[in-house]
Structure 1
C-alpha cells in the first residue's frame, strides 16, 4: 500500500521541479544536477527525488540518459494536460474537437491520395458494422475513422495532436451517444463526409464534419 506521506513529498518534489523548468532555471535540453545535489536543492531525500524524476521521465518532461544524466525534454507535462482536458465539459470538448476536425477534413479533401481513400472506406465500413450495436466498439471505430481523416491531411503535427486528444473525445462520445433524448448525428453524414473528401470538395467536407458535431 502506498505511503500517503511519501506520495505527498513526491508531489512537492514534482511541483518544485516543474516550477524550475517553467521559470527557466532549467532550460530545454539542459542537464539537471546530479541526484545528491538535486535532493539538497529541493530539501528532499534522494529516494523522493528519484521517484519524482521517474514520474516526470514517464510523462516525457525529463529524459534519463543512462551514464550521462537527466535532461529537460519538455516544458509541458502531458499528464497535466490530460487531466485538464478531462475536466472540461462535453460542450467544450465538442468545440475543441470541431476546431481540429473541421479544418482537418478540409485539408484532407485537398491532399488525400488513393491510399487514404481506401483506408477511409475500410474505416467507415468498420464503423458502419458497429453502429447501433456495441457502444464501445462503435466509439473506437468512429475515432479510428476520424483519425484517418486527420491523417489524410498529411500534417504529422495535426495527426499527433488529434491522437493525443482522442481519449477525451472518446469519453465525450460515450456520454453523448448514450444520453437519453440527446440528438444523434445520422450515420449518413459520415458517408457524405467521405464522399466530399474523395471528390476533393473542401467546403462540403468541412460542412459535413461540422454537422456531425451539432
Structure 2
C-alpha cells in the first residue's frame, strides 16, 4: 500500500497521522517491524528528520517502540488511552476509591516529612475551607480539594503530588454534582471541620498513625455518601 506524498505543512503531524492510519488499518500489524526511515521518508515525500519526529509521536502514543539495533516495531493498533481522559470518564465513586488508597499513605508520609512551611499552608487551606463551608457549591469543593492537596504536597513525593493533580479535576465535578443531590455537609457538625482539623493537627504534630487514621476515616465518610447515590 503506497503511503502517498504529503502536503507541505504541518509535515510531522501529517506523517504521524498517515503512519497511524497504516497501523490502525492492519497494514502493519502489532509486532511488525516498520520500514526504515529512508524508505518511509521516500514514500511520504519528506525528510528523515520529519519521519523521526513522527515516529517519536507514535511512540509517545504507545503505538510503536524502537529496539536498539533492531528497528521500530508496532506495539499497539490504537493509541494508549490518555490518563486524564480515562479519569474524566470514570465513575466518581471508582476514582474516590483510588483516592482513598493514595491519600491515606500520603497523610502518613506528610506527618513524617512536613516542614513548617507545609504546616502553614495546610492551616491556611483549612481556614479557606471553613470560609466557604456555608456557601457550599464549587467554592466549597475547591477549598476542600485544596486542603487535601496541601496534605499530599507535605508528603514531598512528586509522584503522589502529580497523581493527585490528575485526580482532582475528575473528583471536582463529581463532588459538585453530588452537592446538587444531597447536602454532604449537613450531616456533619461544622461541615466536616472537626475531621479536617484533626487531620491537619495529626500531620502537624508528626503523629503518623493518627494522620493515617484521620485521613482514612474522613475519606470514608464521603465514600459512603457517594456509594449511597449509586
TM class by smaller structure: 0.5 to 0.7
Inter-partner Cα distance in structure 2 for 1:146 and 1:198: 14
From 125, 128, 131, give the equivalent of 1:126: 128
Is 1:202 paired with 2:202?
no
Matches within 5 A, 1:47-62: 61=61
SS state of the match for residue 187, structure 1? helix
Query: Structure 2: which 5+ runs fail to align?
Result: 1-16, 63-75, 222-230
With normalisation by structure 2, the TM-score equals 0.61
Aligned residues: 179
CA contact (8 A) 2:95 2:167 kept: no
CA contact (8 A) 1:97 1:169 kept: no
Task: Give the C-alpha shift of residue 210 in structure 1.
Answer: 1.6
From 7, 13, 29, give the equivalent of 2:20: 13
Q: Which residue of 2 aligns with 1:70?
A: none
Matches within 5 A, 1:174-185: 174-180=176-182
With normalisation by structure 1, the TM-score equals 0.65
Q: Which residue of 1 aligns with 2:225?
A: none
Task: Give the C-alpha shift of residue 159 in structure 1.
Answer: 0.8
Q: Which residue of 2 aligns with 1:37?
A: 40
CA contact (8 A) 1:85 1:168 kept: yes
Task: Give the C-alpha shift of residue 154 in structure 1.
Answer: 0.8
Distance 1:181 1:135, change over 3 A: closer
Moved over 4 A (4+): 22-26, 181-185
CA contact (8 A) 2:92 2:170 kept: no
Q: Which residue of 2 aligns with 1:112?
A: 114
Query: Structure 1: which 5+ runs fail to align?
Result: 1-9, 27-31, 63-74
C-alpha root-mean-square deviation of aligned residues, in Å?
A: 4.2
Inter-partner Cα distance in structure 2 for 1:211 and 1:11: 52
Inter-partner Cα distance in structure 2 for 1:78 and 1:148: 31
From 161, 164, 167, give the equivalent of 1:165: 167
